[in-house]
Structure 1
């Protein structure tokens, strides 16, 4: 817990600076001579010296510290552009122009990192290793475990399945038995239908927004829609290649491009058929594309606050049968 809190200190300090200087530049008190003196130099010192020093002191990964220091500095420069009175700006005018160069540099560095990771993953996919392991191994060279790694896994899996799905072999996934979900309630066909709809809708919506609203809004919404299209393509290709697997000790729930969920067999209390709609809940994990889930798994000990897992698979009776056999084996070994 200590490491997590220390890693967040630069961001918390950034929030404190934004709050403090928002009050300073918008208030009238003895600190700013009752509104007559609101200089740029205090924010300049904190943005260019204090905050970068805090990043380097409290972040052990110096690459991450450099990227965050540059990004936070650029954000504070953007903040100062709107809050520092124009008559008090002397150096800030030059910094406002330089911030675009800094942001472009940070983006360039991150694109190089992502390109390197994709190249490494593409190479690993040519082996017989588990594709999920091939994905996470290069990522761990750049990132530590945590929410950022989980998000990057999801993001990279989306691009890998979109671009290199033909290199992924289902038989390479870890597991003694594999179970599928592409045909349940025509999940794969529905995904393909959404892809066609989005492909036709994006250019039409772009033209309408361009002329009715604004070119900038049209470009932003179209870029977001294209990103959504990439996500659906990755999901569509993953549905028929990425199985739910059963090993001697775990049920590995892989569903589309979602991050895998490892359920120890000795942590399963009950597993049973299911035929009802499952509402969203903090205690429930749902892995089901269309229709209602057909398998309910109750856990003895919650996994990340989730005490129940619902699955939608093509052959629920087969999965139930194999799960029952594996549970019996587990109980026999424990006795």
Structure 2
């Protein structure tokens, strides 16, 4: 069987991405076996040195550059992180300052993601785990995408030779207690409300149903949150549930999907939550917009939260947090969510 490593993109060089990657390899070496970092050697060496200076016990982690993704299979030395440099290397005086928006960091992070996506689409790697990007840094670098999801969608569409709209994707946030999938992602709230259409909701249900079925082997029970307070209260607080959401659910049921709702957004997540070893009432909640779905998951704790892109012809996961510029360079970032993202990607590849 041909060795196919899992790649971890470095994320924004000014954020906590490089640091949590080093911590993940240090703290869970068996789990990280077969993973390769796609990033910059100087950036990763700086992160390794930071942790060596600030944390005990030794020995410090070493960054070993590989020139081919398959070389990672030969790296078995303890405390060693394989790194593939796919961009022009940064010199010491080019390193972005910790916690500062940098066009250099934005371009480097985006280039690593594009390389990783293309490698996964070619079948050279098993999965892509992405450390956090910074949207302002991407914008400063002239990157025409607000985040990972849209960037990966564009790469997949180009690889398939189709329009971006013909490569629909959705964001799922998951932890051991709750899964939620979003109808719209990184748009303003006004545009998010406009995106609540029969077609978009039905597409979200189809993508979620297919993804969950592929991973778990069974059809998921999907709960759909309403858009308005109390799910519209029979039209008294808005008609979106009556005119848009319910027709979408009826069509989904006609296609054989197991879907319930729409439910009041302030209670459906509690009903879906797995707690004290008991499964929730639903397998996944479909949320109408970004914050409606992400606030409940993140409130439960970002330590085990994972961002999964559904609908791509590749496996992609990411930690459920951002670049954390406020603590970057302090050696106290938590790598738990990155390790959870790696574990979920490994499970999805089985």
TM-score category by the smaller chain? under 0.3
The structure with higher relative contact order (CA 8 Å, sep 6+) is 2
Q: Whose strand fraction is larger, Structure 1's or Structure 2's?
A: 2
TM-score (norm 1): 0.27
TM superposition score normalised by structure 2 = 0.26
Q: Which has the higher helix share?
A: 1
